């Protein structure tokens, strides 16, 4: 029995189906990323889990107990919204105390002690008397996180917690969120549309598209064995080509560039080169198969002396090939 079981959840707004029979099991203490393009229903799923929205059908179990009809207040879930929703007229401390005052079995005294504790945890103690607008984006984000974990929730729900931040802050906070989540051991569902975020942070990833779950698995499983072409394309880059009626896919970095004397599968004329730092991307056309991208280490690219219009020889290791039936594409 999983800690949280989401069974057959379906939700429609007007005529649009936003969630279509979504199933998902979440184990105690793990961090699950829900990854999908904008508008695929991620936020709606999170709101249903939180009890802020009612599903049209399906149920949610917590610890084996049916809580589909439980109110949000009783569920004891902590939420961080995309917009953070910090109360602008309250200080950082005020924001955290706002919810704490309501917790049963928590005296006023304990609430006063609890607030500094979580503020230290997210490293905001010295900013506790500032108002949200006086904080940087990252600090606001951590305030929202502190407010959510102050109530010692059974489960933490994060809706794109990092999407409003710039790249540097984002990668720093990824580590911090992960650290806090580990320290508290709190089960966490995090929604994101950033594949890198999902790959680096998640214990497991749920790939969603158009109201349905496409695949659930560890980052490694999803990257190496994407179950559908959508999952393959959405996470990392993938080359697709047609091979006798069968769709084959291979990651750009798995393709090997070999010398003409070695055994090779294809020859390719280099169309353009793209220097990406550690890697160099080689774009070219395979005869009858369409455009392909090959990633090689930049050292190798230099050693090969690649130029545009040069012809190179490619090997596709069979163990790296992924096959889809043509209808799936």
Ligand X SMILES: Nc1ncnc2c1ncn2[C@@H]1O[C@H](COP(=O)(O)OP(=O)(O)OP(=O)(O)O)[C@@H](O)[C@H]1O
Contact residues toward ligand X (CB under 6 A) are 13, 18, 36, 38-44, 193
User: Least distance to ligand X from the beta carbon of 267, Å?
Assistant: 42
Closer to other proteins by Cβ: residue 150 or 180? 150
CA distance 203 to 226: 16
Tokens of 217: 């698995």
CB of 301 within 8 A of CB of 282?
A: yes
Q: What secondary structure does DSSP assign to 176-192, as a single string? A: HHHHHHHHHT-EEEEEE
User: Smallest distance, Å, CB 44 to other proteins?
Assistant: 12
- Signed CA dihedral, 89, 77, 74, 152: sign only: negative
Q: Taking the complex as a whole, how short is the minimal distance between the CB of residue 154 and other proteins, in angstroms?
A: 12
Q: In whole angstroms, what is the distance from residue 166 CA to residue 164 CA? A: 7
| Nearer to Mg ion among residue 42 and residue 142 (C-beta) | 42
Which one of other proteins, Mg ion, ligand X, none is in contact with 18 (Cβ closer than 5 to 8 A by kind)? ligand X
Nearer to other proteins, 79 or 232 (CB): 79
Phi/psi of residue 151, nearest 5 degrees:
-85, 10
- The partner in contact with residue 11, picked from ligand X, Mg ion, other proteins, none with C-beta cut-offs of 5 to 8 angstroms by kind, is none
Pairing of strands 187-192, 155-159: parallel
- Residue 43 touches Mg ion, criterion: CB under 5 A: yes
Q: Which does 88 bind (CB under 5 to 8 A by kind): Mg ion, other proteins, ligand X, none?
A: other proteins
Closest approach of Cβ 208 to Mg ion, in Å?
11
Give the three-class secondary structure for 150: helix
Burial (CB count within 10 angstroms: exposed 0-12, middle 13-18, buried 19+), residue 115: buried
Q: Name which of Mg ion, other proteins, ligand X, none residue 309 binds, using a CB cut-off of 5 to 8 Å depending on partner kind.
A: none
Distance (Å, rounded) from C-alpha 181 to C-alpha 185?
6
Q: How far is the CB of 180 from ligand X (least distance, A)?
A: 23
Contact 284, 269 (CB under 8 A): yes
Please give the residue ranges that form the binding site for other proteins (CB under 8 A).
47, 50-52, 54, 56-57, 68-69, 71-75, 77-79, 81-83, 85, 87-90, 98-99, 101-103, 130-137, 147, 151
Residues 43, 49, 53, 56: is their CA dihedral positive or negative?
A: positive
Minimal distance, residue 15 CB to other proteins, in Å: 15
Kindly tell me the burial class for residue 229, based on how many C-beta atoms sit within 10 Å of its own C-beta (0-12, 13-18, 19 or more).
middle
User: For other proteins, which is the closer residue by CB, 142 or 204?
Assistant: 142
> 175 near 208, Cβ under 8 Å?
no
Q: Which does residue 71 touch among other proteins, Mg ion, ligand X, none (CB within 5 to 8 A, set by kind)? A: other proteins
Q: Verify binding: residue 192, Mg ion, rule CB under 5 A.
A: no
Between 88 and 305, CB nearer to other proteins: 88
With contacts defined by CB under 5 A, name the span among 39-47, 162-170, 215-223, 305-313 that binds Mg ion.
Answer: 39-47
Q: How far is the CB of 321 from ligand X (least distance, A)?
A: 32
CB of 95 to ligand X, least distance (A): 23
Q: Which is nearer to ligand X, 36 or 252 (CB)?
A: 36
Compare residues 215 and 239 and give the one whose CB is closer to ligand X. 215
For position 141 contacting Mg ion by CB under 5 A, the verdict is no
- CA separation, residue 56 to residues 11, 13, 19, 92, 214 (Å): 5, 10, 10, 37, 21
Residues that bind Mg ion (CB under 5 A): 43
């Amino acid at each position: 029995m999983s800690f949280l079981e989401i069974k057959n959840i379906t939700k429609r707004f007007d005529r649009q189906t936003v969630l279509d029979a979504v199933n998902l099991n979440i184990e105690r203490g793990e961090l699950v990323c829900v990854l999908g393009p904008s508008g695929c229903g991620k936020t709606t799923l999170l709101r249903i889990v939180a009890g802020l929205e009612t599903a049209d059908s399906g149920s949610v179990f917590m610890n084996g107990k049916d809580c589909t009809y439980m109110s949000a207040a009783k569920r004891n879930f902590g939420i961080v919204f995309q917009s953070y929703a910090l109360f602008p007229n309250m200080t950082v401390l005020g924001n955290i105390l706002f919810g704490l005052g309501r917790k049963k079995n928590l005296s006023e005294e304990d609430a006063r002690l609890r607030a500094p504790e979580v503020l230290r945890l997210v490293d905001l103690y010295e900013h506790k008397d500032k108002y949200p607008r006086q904080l940087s984006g990252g600090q606001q984000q951590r305030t929202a996180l502190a407010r959510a974990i102050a109530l010692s929730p059974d489960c933490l729900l994060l809706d794109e917690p990092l999407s409003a931040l710039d790249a540097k802050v984002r990668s720093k906070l990824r580590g911090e969120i992960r650290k806090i989540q580990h320290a508290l051991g709190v089960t966490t569902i995090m929604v994101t549309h950033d594949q890198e975020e999902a790959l680096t942070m998640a214990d497991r990833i749920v790939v969603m598209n158009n109201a349905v779950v496409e695949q659930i698995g560890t980052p490694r499983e999803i990257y190496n064995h994407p179950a559908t072409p959508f999952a393959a394309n959405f996470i990392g880059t993938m080359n697709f080509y047609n091979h006798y009626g069968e769709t084959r896919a291979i990651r750009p970095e798995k393709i090997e560039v070999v010398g003409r004397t070695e055994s090779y599968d294809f020859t390719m004329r280099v169309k353009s080169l793209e220097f990406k730092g550690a890697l160099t991307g080689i774009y070219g056309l395979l005869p009858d198969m369409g455009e392909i991208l090959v990633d090689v280490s930049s050292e190798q690219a230099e050693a090969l002396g690649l130029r545009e219009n040069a012809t190179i020889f490619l090997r596709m290791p069979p163990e790296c090939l992924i096959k889809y039936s043509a209808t799936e594409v």
